[in-house]
Each structure stands twice: as structure tokens, then as C-alpha cells.
Amino acid sequence: MGTRKSAALGICFLALICAACAQKGENVADKKGDGKVTADAAAALGMEIAADLDARIAAYAPVEIKVPWELLDENEQKVLEKLYRASKIMDELFLRQVWSGNVDMRDKLAAHGDARLAGFFALNFGPWDRLNENQPFIGTMPKPDGADFYPADMTAAELEAWIAAHPEDKAAFQSNFTVIRRAEGGLTAVPYSKEYAGLLGEAARYMNEAADLAANESLAKFLRSRAAAFMSDDYYQSDMDWMDVTGNLVDLTIGPYEVYEDNMFNYKAAFEAFLCVRDPEESKKLDGLKGYLVKMEKNLPMDDRHKNLNRGSDSPISVVDEIFSGGDTKAGVQTLAFNLPNDERVREAKGSKKVMLRNICHAKFDRILYPIAERVLAKDQLGYVTFDAYFNHILLHEFSHGLGPGKLTLADGTETTVNLELKNTYSINEEAKADIVGEYNFYYLIDDGFFDRKLEKETAVTFLAGFFRSVRFGTDSAHGGANMIIFNYMKEKGAYAQDPATGLWSVDFAKAREAVTGLAREILAIQALGDFKASTELIEKYGKMGDDVRESLSRLGDVPKDIVPSFEIEKRYAVN
């Protein structure tokens, strides 16, 4: 099972997230504070409510996500409605996966009519603030590490001991698609199809109904096989069918995918859905990048013998506008792009699909990235901060995860991987690689004529603005740490400079290009040699935040940290 941060598998969350308080199609961030109501809710719940709830809510910019009805014929609109209803069930499934007390708490909040609190709860899928290290904002209970995938009182050691004593249970216990429960005298693995039979059956029914209506055969095939997987817990064939969906406008990704909510073992997959409308023309245009994979590998600034020219995975690119998201992906930070499936057998056979959520990227650019640029970049360079540069760098970042060293043979003949050799520095190193090699490839594709020359300056300045967005979340995360390294390196090489009078930053274009190549070379060399010591030194030398950056970040107080979508489709087809 993949990780969003690892090379081959990465959806990494380049730009983080958000979630919707989809409850009643209302937007939590639109509500004005009313301390009295919140106090009443606290009393009804018998729990304390965080005093700074308003500030927590204000961290999210409300964004309305519309449906491009004009692009869809009558039949596609009918398909869309069924698929929305199936996707909405992922909300219910994920709510149960996060914590056993969630449904009860939601009902109490709804009964009490405090829409702000209920909305913030819905946005976080539970009483823990995902943007602030999961601090509880209702009550004081810490978020359970194992979510509701394991018995609340079970420790990691207990599970490990059980598997050691019952090796025949190992596969079922470590499966992505079972929950662990207490049974007479011990532990037992219950398949998702049984644990969530009712909700999964309902979702499967909507998907089969949509398949019967759908004119696109490849989509219908996927919907039927995924519906069957909900009943069998065997997702392989439906992952294969998902890779083959083509020629469609209405697009659905649905199922149990990522394992991060299981913070105890990363075994258990969380339910989620992305319901989208594809842009066939833009998808086709960017799909041309597939032809560049080997060329980009050849062009990397590293020794030829370390280049991996046999990666021939046929990875399609899809540009879509999201019209609804459900479950895991909607909790906390909103996803910009994803790369699925995670099943290595499918990736071997068919590669993986990169899906770019264009309207979400646009919303974050407008509401977060550009406002940040206005506060910290020199006025004469603001015109170079563009959506095109932002969007294409996100795509090239994802691409670049798949470039460079992966499997290694050390000098003594040991077969290993970059991941194993770089140990706990791997995630930061890999994210820094994706970012800087992504930028390096941007220049390459401009030189080769794939992208317009005007993007050369735009990507340089937009990349700098993106740094300030990323490090706001701290330098401990892989993305934040990676960005800090890049910024300090670029600054050292004279690529970034601060005006002492205004404190605003600007890019020296010639030096920026040179520095990008220099840092890409250093990071790729570390990976090619599996050099843990050099990786550690790179982080120590460049990973710290200086006072200059801290001062710049202090100017961003009023800029939201993420967006919270309210979905038009939810209002049209209100479930209640």
C-alpha cells in the first residue's frame, strides 16, 4: 500500500487541504460567532468547547464548488446524481472509521442547532482540529491513534503479540480492508464488507444504477466491479478497471484507499470519493507529458549510470474539476492532486493515474497563494505569480517523484532502496527532490517548447510564493522541511533576496535557474548513493527557519490556511 509521500506512490499533499461542512450544505466559515449558542451546545454535550473556535474556523476560506451543468447531457446528469449519492455515503463510512463516538456526537450537535460547531465538526470528521495537530476542540480526549480500526483499549503491542502467537491470522489482521474487534477470549479481524455491510450495500446499489444508465462502457464496467468489491473486499479488478476508464466526462474515484488515518499501523484504508467532471482537451494536452518521462530521466543532472531508463510505466494524466468529495480526502486539508491506485500489482501492470483537481488548485491559488504573494513579494514581480505556473509545477512535482534513483545497488553489492538507506530523512529528501526536480523539469520543458517561454519567470516567482505557503505549516512536516531546505539554498546562491527597506522578497532569474540545477544535482547524488550522512547534513545545514522568514510569515496572519468547499451538488440533491 502506498504512501502519499513516497516516490512511486505519491499523492503528496502539495498544498493542503480542507474539508467541507457538508452537513446541510451550509458553510461553516460563513457563520458568525454566537458565544451563547456554543455555550448551550457545550452544556448539552457536557463538554468543554475550545475558546478560540472562531479563529480555528477563520483559518478556512469558504469556496463554492459549482457543477458545470452545461457540459452534461440529461443522461450524464442522471448518472451524476447516482454517483453523488454513492459518494456521500463515503462521508458516513469515514465518520465511523475515525471514532466510534462520532455518530452520536454529530447527532447531539445537530439536535442542538449550533451550526458553526456542527459545521466545524463535520469539516474535521470528529472533535479534533486537523489543522492544529488534532487538538480536541470539543472535550479533552486525545484522538485515538488507531481510529476505530482497532478496539479502543487495544495497544500496538497487543496486536503484535496476537499475530506472533497466531501467524495464520497475520494476513487478515494486516489487511487494508478489515477492522480488528474483540471476540471471545481474544481479537478477530472483521472484513469491511461485513462491518459496514449496510452502507456499502447502499453505495453499491447507487453505483450499479449509475452503471445501468451510463453511456460510457469503461465507466460502467468500473462502477460494477467496484460495487462488487464493496461486497467481496477484493479491490484488484476494480482498480484495474479504474485505470481503463476513458473517454468519459463524469468521473468517479471511490473506495478505501489511503492508510494514514490508521496512525497506529498504517494498515487500514479509509473510505473516500472524488466525483469530478473531466476536461478531455486539457487532459489530452498534458497527457503529452507521458512521452517526456524517459527524456526527463535522461536529462537529470546526475551521473548516467544512476539513471533509471527502464521505468516505462504508462501513467495517464487526467485534468478534472471536482464537484464533490467524500470521506477521508475531505477531512482537514483539501487535496489538489492524487496518484492512484496504491496496489503495486496494478501499478506494475498499468502504472498509475495522476488526477489534477483543477478547480481546487484554482481556489487555493486565488484565496491563499496570491494573497500570500501580495504580502511578501516585491511589487514589480507580483505579475509573475500565475495560476499556470502554480498548476504545472504541482503536476511536475508529482511526475518528478517517479524520476531518479529508486532501487540501489551499493558498492558492496547490497540490493536496497533509497527509502531504506535514507531512513528518517527520506520523506524530507524525497519531497525536496520532487519540488526541485519538478522546477528543473519545468525549465527543460520550456526549453523544449512544450511550455511557453513566458512561464520561465512565472515559475521562478510562483515557486518562491509557494515556499511561504508551505512553511506556514511548520518545518517538521516533509513538505515544510523540504521547502525550507530549498529556500535557504536558493537564498545562499543569491537567487532570492530581501529588500532591507520593505522586507519584500524577489527572485534573481539567472541565479535562480542555476541554483535549481545545483540543488537538484546535490539531492539526486544523495539518493543515487543512498547517502544517509549527506542527507542528514543537508537538513541540518539548510532546514532551519531564519528570523527573516519568520518576520515574513508574521505578515500572513489574515490569509486563510486552507479552503472549505460548499458543494452546489449537495444543495441540489439534499440527502436528508
In the complex, what is the shortest distance from the CB of residue 434 to Zn ion, in angstroms, rounded to a whole number?
Answer: 4
What string of H, E and C letters represents the secondary structure of 312-357? CCCCCEEEEEEEEEEEHHHCCCCCCEEEECCCHHHHHHHCCEEEEE
Residue type, position 113, single letter: G
| Distance from C-alpha of 27 to C-alpha of 561, rounded to nearest angstrom | 16
In the complex, what is the shortest distance from the CB of residue 446 to Zn ion, in angstroms, rounded to a whole number?
Answer: 21
| Distance from C-alpha of 510 to C-alpha of 457, rounded to nearest angstrom | 10
Chain residues in the site for Zn ion (CB under 5 A)? 10, 12, 434
Q: Which three cell numbers stand for residue 141?
A: 480526549
Q: Which is nearer to Zn ion, 127 or 480 (CB)?
A: 480
| Distance from C-alpha of 441 to C-alpha of 546, rounded to nearest angstrom | 28
Continuous H helices in 233-327: 236-244, 280-287, 293-299
| Distance from C-alpha of 443 to C-alpha of 455, rounded to nearest angstrom | 9
Q: Which is nearer to Zn ion, 208 or 400 (CB)?
A: 400
Characterise 413 by phi-psi region: left (phi > 0), alpha (psi -120 to 50), beta (else). Answer: left
Which residue is closest to Zn ion by CB? 12
Q: Which is nearer to Zn ion, 180 or 396 (CB)?
A: 396
Q: What is the dihedral of CA 325, 329, 333, 336, to 10 degrees?
A: -70
In the complex, what is the shortest distance from the CB of residue 431 to Zn ion, in angstroms, rounded to a whole number?
Answer: 5
In the complex, what is the shortest distance from the CB of residue 71 to Zn ion, in angstroms, rounded to a whole number?
Answer: 31
- Give the three-class secondary structure for 94: helix
| Distance from C-alpha of 147 to C-alpha of 139, rounded to nearest angstrom | 17
User: Beta-carbon neighbour count of residue 106 at 10 Å?
Assistant: 18
| Distance from C-alpha of 309 to C-alpha of 314, rounded to nearest angstrom | 14
In the complex, what is the shortest distance from the CB of residue 96 to Zn ion, in angstroms, rounded to a whole number?
Answer: 30
In the complex, what is the shortest distance from the CB of residue 438 to Zn ion, in angstroms, rounded to a whole number?
Answer: 9
Q: Which is nearer to Zn ion, 121 or 390 (CB)?
A: 390
| Distance from C-alpha of 404 to C-alpha of 513, rounded to nearest angstrom | 20
In the complex, what is the shortest distance from the CB of residue 554 to Zn ion, in angstroms, rounded to a whole number?
Answer: 27
Q: Which is nearer to Zn ion, 12 or 340 (CB)?
A: 12
The number of residues in the chain equals 576
In the complex, what is the shortest distance from the CB of residue 99 to Zn ion, in angstroms, rounded to a whole number?
Answer: 28
Q: Which is nearer to Zn ion, 249 or 524 (CB)?
A: 524
In the complex, what is the shortest distance from the CB of residue 263 to Zn ion, in angstroms, rounded to a whole number?
Answer: 20
